[in-house]
Amino acid sequence: EVQLQASGGGLVQPGGSLRLSCAGSGFTFDDYAIAWFRQAPGKEREGVSCISSTGNSVDYVDSVKGRFTIARDNAENTVYLQMNSLKPGDTAVYSCATGLGRLCLRWHLSATWRNWGQGTLVTVSS
C-alpha cells in the first residue's frame, strides 16, 4: 500500500521558516516524482513544487520561487520542502503526492497525481 506522511507544519511568524517532510512507503520511492500541494480555507488546491525521481529537476509555482526549496533524500525515502520568508498568504494545509512517474509533467494539476498523503497545517501569523 502506497503511503505518504507529511509533517513539520506549525505556527510561524511572517518572515519565519519551516521545513516540511514527506515520508513515503509501500512503493519504490526513487522511481517516482513527488509534489507538494497546498489548500487554504475557501480556496482551490494549488501546486507548490515538484521534484523528479532523481532530484535533478525541480519546479515551483511563481509565488514561492526564491523562498521555497524542494529536495529529496532517496536513501531516507523522504522529500523536504524548506520554506523561508513565509507570508500570511502561505497559510494552508500542505500535502504531498506521488504516482505520476519519474518526471514532473503537468505536475501543477492535482488530477495528475494518483496517491496523496494526509496534510500538515502551516499557519503564518503574528
- The tens digit of pLDDT for each residue in 25-39 reads 999 999 999 999 999
Cα end-to-end span (Å), the chain: 40
Q: What is the pLDDT of residues 48-101, one digit of tens each?
A: 999 999 999 999 999 999 999 999 999 999 999 999 999 999 999 999 999 989
Residues 6+ apart with CB under 8 A from 75: none
CA distance 38 to 79: 15
